[in-house]
Amino acid sequence: MIDLRLRLRRSSFQLDVSARLDSAATGIFGPSGSGKSSLLHALAGLLPVDELRLNVDGEVLVDTTAGRMPAAHLRRIGMVFQDHRLFPHLSVADNLRYGMPKDGAPGPTWREVIALLDIGDLLGRRPDQCSGGQRQRVALGRALLSAPRLLLLDEPLASLDRGLKRQILPYLRRVRDAFAMPLLHVSHDLPELLHVCDDLLLMDGGRIAAHGPLGAIAGDPKLLPLLHDAGMVNVLRGTIAAHEPPDGLTLVTLDGGAQVRCPLRGEAAGSRIELLLRPDEVALATADVAGISLQNRLPGTIRAITAASDRVLVTVDLGQYVLVEVTARTVQQLGLITGQPIWILFKAMSLAGRG
């Protein structure tokens, strides 16, 4: 749990944030210049502040009003940057050792970190002998070995291509699940955040515009443009029911009972799974439609219709909520209203695995 109160002014920009964050991993997003990275840098002690109180799991790490203002290297806050910031003249092993506390503070062990991030075969290399994804794993390992009470990720995947991002995201989830330390992850990419984080903090103009799960945030019409620009996505949770190798598909029973087909997965039947589905890849119909190629056609009920300018977000209840983005014209033509039975339709290939 994180309690924070932060104020700082830089030229004409003011950051004013108060929040209580209960999730193990919170994703921070918003438009450029909204204060996302400044928030992390201020928490880490890399920016001067007017006021800062930071309490992590009951321990006060910083409190400027009480005169508790430890230097950045004494705050026990690990940080991973977009550009990894490894020492080029040191080996991977020496880069990892660089941040380790000399006072024996409790934290992840060398063996745990090496195994979790699969970097044992990199220890003798220099950073320039590693790929971009490998360097980011090393940077993450260095942050973990500093025995942090709080882990900050400042757009750690922004410089990586799509393929490398897919390789790194499972490691971030491993870190979230393996160690008892809260994590704040900044990104412009909402689907990236939802691979790792359940709660979101939306920033705009130096302030918190919204905080909570995506479904709660998406109910505010004022936030739809920001969510759309960030790449809004649904997270569907369920259990693998069966594999259909000849068709290259996996059958998944979603929480709530609905069944969907997604591209063939490697996990065993009975495994829990989370699937990502973009709202603009879903179609609506007032009745089931036969004779089409879409593998997934599911009945549900409209629970909310949120309109903002030319965008409309329809919340459909399938046993879990699915957000569907349509035009105002679609709402009018189909006569959509709250409480109405509805069918949602989407391709199996529209579903991407989370993690």
Q: Has residue 253 got a pLDDT over 90? A: yes
pLDDT of residue 215: 75
Which residue(s) pair with 294 in the sheet? none
Q: 167 and 60, same structural domain? A: yes
Q: What is the mean pLDDT of residues 324-351?
A: 94
pLDDT of residue 317: 93
Write the pLDDT tens digit of every residue in 140-161.
Answer: 999 999 999 999 999 998 888 8
Q: Has residue 222 got a pLDDT over 90? A: no
Domain with residue 67: its CATH number is 3.40.50.300
Q: 275 and 183, same structural domain? A: no
CA distance to 10, 34, 41, 52, 205, per residue, from 15 (Å): 8, 9, 12, 11, 8
Higher pLDDT, 128 or 295: 128
Q: For residue 336, is it within any domain?
A: yes
Q: 241 and 189, same structural domain? A: no
Q: 252 and 205, same structural domain? A: no
pLDDT of residue 355: 53
Q: For residue 219, is it within any domain?
A: no
Burial 57-69 (b: 16+ CB within 10 A, else e): eeeebbebeeeee
134 is in which domain, residue-wise? 2-212
Last residue of a domain, one of 167, 182, 212: 212
Which residue(s) pair with 205 in the sheet? none
Q: 188 and 321, same structural domain? A: no
pLDDT of residue 324: 93
Q: 284 and 204, same structural domain? A: no
Q: 255 and 179, same structural domain? A: no
Percent of the chain with pLDDT over 90: 62
What is the tally of structural domains in the chain? 2
Average pLDDT of every residue of the chain: 90
Domain with residue 247: its CATH number is 2.40.50.100
Q: 256 and 179, same structural domain? A: no
Q: For residue 221, is it within any domain?
A: no
pLDDT category of residue 195 using cuts at 50, 70 and 90:
confident
Q: For residue 83, is it within any domain?
A: yes
pLDDT of residue 309: 66
The tally of CA atoms less than 13 A away on the side-chain side of residue 54 is 22
Higher pLDDT, 225 or 327: 327
